Amino acid sequence: MPQGSDGFSTRAIHDGERKDPTTGALNTPIYATATFAFDTAREKEAAVDAALEWEPGAFFYSRTGNPTTAAFEAKMASLEGAEDCVASSAGMASVAAALLSVLDAGDHCIASDDLFIITRFLLDDVLASKGITVDHVDITDHAAVEAAIRPNTKVLFVEALSNPHMRFADIPALADLAHGHGLVLIVDNTFLSPYLLRPVELGADIVVHAATKYIGGHGDVVAGTAAGSKARVDRMRYYLDSFGGALSVFNSWLLLRGVKTLQMRMRVHSANGLAVAEYLQSRPEVEVVNYPGLASHAQHDLAARTLADGFGGMLSLRFHAGERGMEAFCEGLRLSAIAVSLGDLHSLAYPMPKRNSLVRLSVGCEDVDDLLEDYERGIAAVAAL
């Protein structure tokens, strides 16, 4: 198993995996088993104790740990530049485990005011009902973040690139601010992936992903990950085990397959995303394009200094024609499906009438000329209104 100074692509292909010791299979097998058998009662008891202390390689029941999932977790820890990583049944399971591993009744959390809507539900409804208070602030305004800190504040939660307005977080500055006040910084990095950004290396305590998106990359799996120090990850494992948030072993295998090509896919997503953003910004029908690779983006200089390998495939836009323009554009597309989710090879368009009639685009890996032709088709439908 490669170690140490290997590059990202090499680690994406090799780390966490080895030749199967029983059969010699090169790919990690799908260990489709609920339970694991032992020769003696004492061996069983030792394995259970070790697994519940979260010792690597200790297995007794696949809700708590499974060899296929463990291989994926080890690979993701390597790619994140983190000590450890735990996989879960969905991105929201990882977000919940990260927050609940730190927050208790009576605690306070500061979160971005631009977030995935289900994360907002978790913070403002579920956690609030359990006695955890949350304030939302513009995380690009560091003075506002600091002003929101209370004596009982425990967590600062941000999205590295926010959903859906694409605000880019200054993670080193936020880490300094958070740690200066004894807070835990949790970063959702779903929109960028560890190929473009590794928040743990920039000072974040925990980084979470909806691995459903760019990590899997093929739109065929629902999963989450959370990475950080082993102590923090062990605590999240405890919560996920207690909640029954285990990742399906079949999905673990799909993720092992998908993440091997992450670096190649992200290069194409980024190149296509920039080309599409530049085209859309040039159109008079478009009021605004939110994409960190554009000079017009409020945090472009920060993003350009931070994201050395590209700006990703996520952008949002709004038309002067408002909701009518949003609908005409999305319904005029041929290649880009109208759908939620993101990070697929297939381009997706997500109309958001409740978010000021934004259209969120997940720009895929199709040939860029075909994509531009498709978005021209959508723009023509708007121009015809």
Q: Give the chain's domains with CATH numbers.
A: 8-31+66-259 (3.40.640.10), 262-383 (3.90.1150.10)
| CA 264 to chain CA mean position, Å | 17
Instruction: Tell me the pLDDT tens digit for each residue of 172-215.
Output: 999 999 999 999 999 999 999 999 999 999 999 999 999 999 99
Is the full-model pTM beyond 0.85?
A: yes
Q: Which pair of tokens denotes residue 279? A: 């085209």
Cis bond before residue 164 (omega within 30° of 0): yes
Whether the per-residue pLDDT at 2 is higher than 80: the answer is: no
Q: Is the pLDDT of residue 4 over 60?
A: no
Reduced 3-state DSSP string for 250-286: HHHHHHHHHHCCHHHHHHHHHHHHHHHHHHHHCCCCE
Which helix (H) or strand (E) is 222 found in, with range?
none
- Whole-angstrom distance, CA of residue 171 vs CA of residue 205: 11
Torsion of CA 372, 317, 291, 7, to 10 degrees: -60
- Residue 132's alpha-carbon distances to 85, 174, 359, in angstroms, are 26, 22, 33
CA dist 153 and 108 (Å) reads: 4
Alpha helices, H only, 203-353: 230-243, 249-259, 262-281, 300-306, 322-331
pLDDT value, residue 305: 97
CA distance 223 to 66: 15
- Interval 119-166: pLDDT, tens: 999 999 999 999 999 999 999 999 999 999 999 999 999 999 999 999
Give yes or no for residue 218 having a pLDDT over 90: yes
Q: Identify the pLDDT of residue 21.
A: 85
Structure tokens at 138: 């513009």
Query: Is the per-residue pLDDT at 3 higher than 70?
Result: no
What tens digit of pLDDT does each residue of 37-52 get?
999 999 999 999 999 9
Residue 377: pLDDT over 50: yes
Helix, coil or strand: residue 134: strand
Q: With b meaning 16 or more CB within 10 Å and e meaning fewer, what string describes 55-90? A: eeebbbbbebbbbbbbbbbbbbbbbbbbebbbbbbb
- The Cα 251–Cα 294 span in angstroms is 35
pLDDT in tens, 93-119: 999 999 999 999 999 999 999 999 999
The percentage of residues in the chain with a pLDDT greater than 90, rounded to a whole number, is 97
Q: Dihedral angle at the C-alpha atoms of 305, 190, 110, 151, nearest 10 degrees?
A: -80
Quote the CA–CA distance of 100 and 98 in Å, as a whole number. Answer: 6
